[in-house]
């Protein structure tokens, strides 16, 4: 006969694992369809300290892309507080030992393109860590990249990841 402690662990462990998988899936932005016309890759450069932190904590690296553009005269009322038209967001969660992350482009709202000047989409690419437990997220942070989508597609942006100076 199994002990109560063993039974409790056997029942709780799969739930915890499923919860963590769900958190990574949410961060990963799964469900965004591939859009080859706007998909691009992001190069990851990790300092030895950041790599060690990832290895020790089991964190996930999230690459986050915000798509936006500058409003046409007719769409100025739709602009946000930064005077930009939000065109969507996309997050991809990966194991931190990868050198390249593929952004499928499905998070770009194609309907908003008519609201931006010349249809010129901008991207803001960022990276950060999320933890599998109750530790604080963002223990590893990456540089950001901001430029036209066309530039990101022609030469992959590089995110340099390190431990924040105040840690």
Q: What is the pLDDT of residues 96-137, one digit of tens each?
A: 888 999 999 999 999 999 999 999 999 999 999 887 766 667
Cα(66)–Cα(77) distance, rounded to whole angstroms? 20
Tens of pLDDT, residues 140-159? 899 999 999 999 999 999 99
Q: Total domain count for the chain?
A: 1
Ranking 14-18, 73-77, 152-156 by mean pLDDT, the lowest is 14-18
Q: Provide the residue range defining the domain that includes 46.
A: 4-162
Please report whether residue 140 resides in a domain: yes
Please report whether residue 167 resides in a domain: no
Ranking 25-34, 49-58, 82-91, 151-160 by mean pLDDT, the lowest is 25-34
Cα(75)–Cα(116) distance, rounded to whole angstroms? 7
Phi, psi of 76 (to 5 degrees): -60, -35
- Nearest 10 degrees: Cα torsion 51, 57, 62, 63: -10
Please report whether residue 27 resides in a domain: yes
Please report whether residue 130 resides in a domain: yes
Please report whether residue 105 resides in a domain: yes
Q: Which tops the pLDDT comparison, 87 or 3?
A: 87
- The helix/strand/coil state of 132 is coil
Per-residue b/e over 108-146, b at no fewer than 16 CB within 10 Å?
Answer: beeebbebbeeeebbbebbbbbbbbeeeeeebbbbeebe
- The helix/strand/coil state of 129 is strand
């Amino acid at each position: 006969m199994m002990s109560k402690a063993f039974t409790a662990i056997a029942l709780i462990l799969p739930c915890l694992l499923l919860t963590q998988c769900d958190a990574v899936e949410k961060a990963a932005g799964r469900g965004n369809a591939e859009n080859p016309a706007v998909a691009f890759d992001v190069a990851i450069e990790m300092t030895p300290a950041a790599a060690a932190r990832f290895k020790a904590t089991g964190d996930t690296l999230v690459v986050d892309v915000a798509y936006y553009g500058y409003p046409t005269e007719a769409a100025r009322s739709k602009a946000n507080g930064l005077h930009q038209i939000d065109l969507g967001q996309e997050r991809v969660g990966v194991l931190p030992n990868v050198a390249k992350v593929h952004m499928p482009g499905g998070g770009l709202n194609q309907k908003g393109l008519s609201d931006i000047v010349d249809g010129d989409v901008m991207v803001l690419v960022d990276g950060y860590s999320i933890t599998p437990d109750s530790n604080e997220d963002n223990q590893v942070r990456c540089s950001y990249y901001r430029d036209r989508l066309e530039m990101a597609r022609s030469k992959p942006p590089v995110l340099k990841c390190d431990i924040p100076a105040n840690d």
